[in-house]
Amino acid sequence: MRIVIQKEKCIGCEICVNTCPEVFMEWGLHMRSVFEVRDPDRRRALLIEQVAGDCPAGAITVDSGESEVSGKGG
């Protein structure tokens, strides 16, 4: 699962960090705007999608990438 945060859209409300800190702390602490969550369980995957939907700035994009094969460079 790939998460992309558009820095220029983010208003810093920290809803994402507070709702799902295990995942979005990367953003809160390091401003890392692209990160992968490998094999999230169903509950976490739903939570991540919920957070993306709740972002008031529409800054979070989630690609579940279910059919992607890992290991490719690019």
Q: Is 3 in the site for ligand SF4 (CB under 6 A)?
A: no
Kindly determine how many residues on this chain lie close enough to bind ligand SF4 according to the rule CB under 6 A: 13
- The closest of 14, 16, 1 to 53, measured between CA atoms, is 16
Q: What x-and-dash track marks residues 9-48 binding ligand SF4 by CB under 6 A?
A: -xxxxxxx--------------------------------
Query: According to CB under 6 A, which one of 1, 3, 48, 55 is a site residue for ligand SF4?
Result: 55
- Binding region for ligand SF4 (CB under 6 A): 5, 10-16, 55-57, 59-60
